[in-house]
Amino acid sequence: MKPVLQVRDLCRNRILHNISFDLMPGELLAVMGPSGSGKSTLLYNTAGLDQADAGEVRLQDTVLTALSDDHKARLRLEKMGFVFQQMNTIPGLSLEENIVLPGIQAQGKRQKAKVKEKARRLMKELGLEGLENRQVQQVSGGQLQRACICRSLINDPVILFADEPTGALNRQAAQEVMDTLVNLNRQGMSILMVTHDSKTASRCDRILYLQDGEIKDQLYLERADADREQRVNDWLMQRGW
Ligand SMILES: Nc1ncnc2c1ncn2[C@@H]1O[C@H](COP(=O)(O)OP(=O)(O)OP(=O)(O)O)[C@@H](O)[C@H]1O
Ligand SMILES: [Mg+2]
């Protein structure tokens, strides 16, 4: 099986040093590490949102690091989904309008009806039916983050990038958002997720441990393992977490 994402010797001035890893199709991969260790920088550089100094990122058959900024932006719009802690929704627009926006951007105004239908289907799947016309400030944090996940899926990406997707949420909402991401992953979505929450990380297939901009270790988790949260906590403790 070929990786969805191949990262080789990625460097970013004094923040990231020779980062190399693969993300396999359908894998749910977490990045953990102390604050300031470079997790967000790793995510941004991997997705081409930041200009790495050296190294290569390959998304399927495309060498992302060799593309112009315009090409990268197009590829992000069409092939990548993003979910951030700060949800970056547009106030004054409804949930549905926020979700539809990148769809129209990628596919053109003439596809509006089709994009809208897709937005409604996604909202239904993610438990947001009936909230289509709510303004972003009229829903809970968990609902808003699930709307952001809908938005990230509107163009059928091949990979999702998530930076602390549950970071701004209370425990209950965090669990709902994580349930949603795990569900998507079980349907085949490849996900790279930064988190500092061991409970969240314990639901992933593998965890990379980043420290001082280097991948120091990784932990594989079995989906059937009942003790995975304990394993993650023990492993983190050994890393000096
Ligand atoms: N645009 C930038 N210019 C210069 N330095 C930066 C920039 N962005 C981040 N840094 C620095 O790079 C280092 C890594 O930052 P990064 O945000 O990737 O860490 P992080 O692991 O995501 O931390 P946190 O857990 O707090 O989100 C930090 O020392 C930070 O101050
Ligand atoms: Mg960060």
Q: Determine, yes or no, domain membership for 144.
A: no
158 vs 47: CA distance, rounded Å: 12
Q: Convert the pLDDT of each residue in 181-192 to its tens digit.
A: 999 999 999 999
Q: Determine, yes or no, domain membership for 207.
A: yes
Q: Convert the pLDDT of each residue in 148-191 to its tens digit.
A: 999 999 999 999 999 999 998 999 999 999 999 999 999 999 99
Q: Determine, yes or no, domain membership for 105.
A: no
Q: Convert the pLDDT of each residue in 23-58 to its tens digit.
A: 999 999 999 999 999 999 999 999 999 989 999 999
Q: Determine, yes or no, domain membership for 109.
A: no
The total of structural domains in the chain comes to: 1
Give the pLDDT of residue 186: 96
Q: For residue 229, what is the domain's CATH number? A: 3.40.50.300
Q: Determine, yes or no, domain membership for 81.
A: yes
- Is 92 a pocket residue for ligand 1 (Cβ < 6 Å)? no
Q: Which bound ligand lies closest to the C-alpha atom of 32?
A: 1
Give the distance (Å) from ligand 1 centre to CA of residue 38: 5
Q: Do residues 135 and 93 lie in contact, with contact meaning Cβ atoms separated by under 8 Å?
A: yes
**Structural domain that includes position 206:** 5-86+158-238
Give the distance (Å) from ligand 1 centre to CA of residue 212: 10
Q: Do residues 75 and 69 lie in contact, with contact meaning Cβ atoms separated by under 8 Å?
A: no
Give the pLDDT of residue 241: 85
Q: Determine, yes or no, domain membership for 182.
A: yes
**Ligand 1, atom 28: nearest CA belongs to which residue?**
36
In the chain, what percentage of residues exceed pLDDT 70? 100
Q: Which two tokens stand for residue 196?
A: 């500092």
79 vs 95: CA distance, rounded Å: 22
Q: Do residues 221 and 201 lie in contact, with contact meaning Cβ atoms separated by under 8 Å?
A: no
SS3 content of the chain, % helix, strand, coil (to 5): 40, 25, 35
In this prediction, residues 80-101 reach a mean pLDDT of 94
Q: Determine, yes or no, domain membership for 111.
A: no
Q: Would you say residue 112 has pLDDT above 90? A: yes
Q: Determine, yes or no, domain membership for 165.
A: yes
